[in-house]
Chain A
């Protein structure tokens, strides 16, 4: 951990500390609406880190991360509504559930040498399969959805992940910061190097003694587990779950936006992407509401166009470019 910190250039250290301080102090000045936007920023930064681990570092394109998000969300909320098991315990059941799903997808894909586009399609297929399954799963309310009651005893207490926006704000902040630290640490770990090797050239990686199947499976395990935690947050923050929303391919695409815009395979890319994208999308919605235009698709059109523009003009993302401009990138020794 100390090693990571020391590797940052001085300006980077200042910048990180200032950003963290600002994030901690933000609730003093931010109103409820701004806070809700910031919650989304951290939430997407967090999920982006999880996905980026698999795609950006290990080079495996998953377009079905909604599967792990949904499984995490459904496991924890169902445990709460059905058995009264609180989310702080539920999360430790949600993680293995999603991780097991990830292992199945990874095992099927990589054992049978399903790669690239095919692998991406396999991940979509699993997410869709599960979505339809949950649409018919009576115990979690099927397609009519699963709702967290606000009236049951103790549901508004922090230990049950209930309460005001401040709770969710700091929780999302901690998740995003912890995920960033974890990713930064993994990047400099032997595992991180192995992932990069697998991403760059699997055959050469094998010749360097790397068990590529194992490396990919570990990436999937961590990525799916992290995403499941995000799902628990999602479930208790929104307090209602519909299979058609949480398992939707649109949800998977939402997850991949921030790291792609910010910069695939970089530690700060997902954060930068989330900071750029979420407020833009939100202000677009606000602006349209202000002018009385009620168009559900407009925000998605904006996201779609942004994806196309970024991938055409700046496929390595905004962060590498921005870091150079601000003199924050690591000096090349």
Chain B
């Protein structure tokens, strides 16, 4: 097993407040790695640093053998890191298909090929029939799937998913879980932030728990979810 992504002691402070402090972990090739933690634990900040939307104050991020901290987000995307946004942001005035074509154009130089990739991806995420709709007219679950489709169409080695399950009904969650598992079987490594424990337990091969910006536990789901510190700081609070 080789680490696809290595995070080594990264930190981010906002006006003196530590959002993420000295977090380290490794994501192995082929993993589905979940980052969980209460609101404000620094999960999205961590994500933004990996994706290049925020530069870390310290520490290093190594992706596929290359240091990527401080690179722009488009450079990181081109290296093979696809991401979704917590608040979905498809290109509102464009059609569903055009949204995904834009992602696919990262893999190929011609619109013709990008169209093919886009249609395959849309079919995979059950959006093929809606490909001519304007993105802003989609329902929230569809927009979330579109967000995943666009990231997927870039042909990433690592897919970062920021709470794609939040706000979905259980049946919709199960559909996405099935799709993600399918993609993972095809060799895609996935790093996800998730609140929906049902999805985390169904998907994750490893879990990292963040609390107040620090990693308090890491391991396989059975270990982590039984860890007393985790239960007290996070799961306990959630289940109340």
Contact = CB atoms under 8 A, between A and B. Distances in A.
A190 B89 contact: no
Interface in A192-209: 193-194, 196-197, 200-201, 203-209
Contacts of A194: 102, 105
Contact of B94 (A196, A203, A211): A196
Contact of B93 (A189, A200, A207, A333): A200
B85 A193 contact: no
Report the interface size class on chain B: 20 to 34
A204 B78 contact: no
Contact of B111 (A193, A200, A204): A193
Interface in A179-198: 188-190, 193-194, 196-197
B53 A210 contact: no
Interface in A311-333: 332-333
A209 B106 contact: yes
Interface stretch (B38-46, B69-77, B221-229): B69-77
Contact of B72 (A188, A193, A206): A206
Contacts of A205: 74, 91, 102
B98 A196 contact: yes
Contacts of B111: 188-190, 193
B5 interface: no
B74 A201 contact: no
B90 interface: yes
Report the interface size class on chain A: 20 to 34
Contacts of B73: 203, 206-207
B109 interface: yes
A8 B83 CA distance: 35
A212 interface: yes
Given A190-B111, A209-B77, A197 B83 contact: no
A193 B109 contact: no
Contacts of A196: 91, 94, 98, 102
B37 to A, nearest CB: 22
A186 B154 CA distance: 21
A208 B98 CA distance: 13
B143 interface: no
A209 B74 contact: yes
B164 to A, nearest CB: 14
A210 B110 CA distance: 15
B83 A207 contact: yes
B167 interface: no
A203 B78 CA distance: 14
Nearest to A200: B91
A193 to B, nearest CB: 5
Given A190-B109, A190-B114, A208-B102, A197 B151 contact: no
Contacts of B106: 208-209
Interface string B91-116: 11111001001110110011100100
A193 B102 contact: yes
Contacts of B195: none
A204 B114 CA distance: 18
B74 A197 contact: no
A260 to B, nearest CB: 16
A240 B110 CA distance: 45
A207 B51 contact: yes
Nearest to A333: B132
Contact of B105 (A193, A200, A206): A193
A323 B73 CA distance: 38
B157 interface: no
A22 B154 CA distance: 45
Interface of A: 188-190, 193-194, 196-197, 200-201, 203-212, 332-333
9 contacts: A196-B98, A200-B93, A207-B51, A208-B74, A208-B103, A209-B103, A210-B102, A332-B95, A333-B131
Interface of B: 51, 53, 72-75, 77-78, 82-83, 85, 89-95, 98, 101-103, 105-106, 109-111, 114, 131-132, 150-151, 154
Q: Kindly list the 7 A-B residue pairs having the minimum CB-CB distance in the complex, ordered from nearest.
A: A200-B91, A209-B77, A209-B106, A332-B132, A206-B74, A206-B73, A204-B89
